[in-house]
Structure 1
Amino acid sequence: MSGPVHVALPALARPGGHYSHAAVGGGLVFVAGQLPITPDGERLADAAFEVQAVQTLANVEVALLAAGSGIGKLLQVRVYLDDIANWPAFDRIYAQWAGPSRPARAIVPTGPLHFGFKVEVEAMGLG
């Protein structure tokens, strides 16, 4: 049995720590927590929640596609929000992004997130 494959993603900003944006193993794709950071590294911490959510989900999609997956192959999504009051706005944006795909999902209110961001999303899907 071979180990996981770590996917290089030049379309995303470099990871800020010792991790990969995505890893593939056992027919599954695991996407690390994505933040509202543009591909050129701009941190959108001061942007409106909706802007942060759209960028974060775009980053998740880029990671999925680069790893041979996609939104339609998602199995589970975990969403971390700094304020649960943002849940309705996130759900609207997420529904549009996910379309007919309805993976299992958890939304976790966390309080402050890294770098002052309002949202972080991680995901798992089929490869």
Structure 2
Amino acid sequence: MSAPLFFMAPGAPTPVAPFSHAVEVDGWCFVTGQMPTWPDDDSKPLPPDIEGQTVRVMENLKIVLGGLKLGLEHVICARVYITDFETNYPRMNEVYASYFPADRRPARTCIGVTGLARGAMVEIDLLAKR
């Protein structure tokens, strides 16, 4: 196994905790869960609904992947964490699905949680392969 590369993506949102945006080992890229924060203004309020927050999270993930010179087509697996599961799950899925072709969707786990950092409704992390 090669030494891990710890990566902070230029232009990505400020981390909400002490972590790297991604860590790469042997072409496997572990992308830290992104929040629906704004890359240009960490103090700006989060989007008010699950749809807006899911878009913001996916766009933040694209920024991190882009910093690694990867895209959503390299994603192998995703983990989604959402609050208010019964209400937010179908609405989050509609937005999430729009980011991947129907025949190239990553493996995925979706977990209902009681709370997320910054009062967010959704957080998504990824595993990508170079």
Greater shift, 62-71 or 102-111, is seen at 62-71
Say which SS state the counterpart of residue 98 (structure 1) adopts. Answer: coil
Structure 1: runs of 5 or more not aligned: none
Q: CA deviation at 1:69?
A: 2.1
Given residue 75 of structure 1, which amino acid in structure 2 is its aligned partner? I
Which aligned runs of 4 or more in structure 1 are off by greater than 2 angstroms? 42-46
Residue 111 (structure 2) aligns with:
108
Q: 1:46 to 1:61 in 2, by over 3 A?
A: closer
The DSSP-based 3-state class of the residue aligned with 2:37 is: coil
1:72 positional shift: 0.9
Deviations 1:7-46 (A, max 9, x none): 2212112223221111111111110010001112245446
Q: CA deviation at 1:54?
A: 0.3
Q: TM-score, normalised by structure 1?
A: 0.91
1:65-80 aligned at under 5 Å gives the runs 65-80=66-81
Q: What do residues 34-93 of structure 1 show as CA deviations (whole Å, max 9, x unaligned)?
A: 000111224544611111110001111111121132111111000000111211111110
Alpha-carbon RMSD: 1.5
Q: 2:106 corresponds to which letter in structure 1?
A: P
1:16 counterpart residue number: 16
After TM superposition, the structure 1 = structure 2 runs for residues 34-113 of structure 1, keeping only pairs within 5 Å, are: 34-40=34-40, 41-45=42-46, 47-84=48-85, 85-100=87-102, 101-113=104-116
CA contact (8 A) 1:36 1:45 kept: yes
Cα 1:69/1:25, change in 2 over 3 Å: same
TM-score, with structure 2 as normaliser: 0.89
Q: Greater shift after overlay, 41-50 or 109-118?
A: 41-50
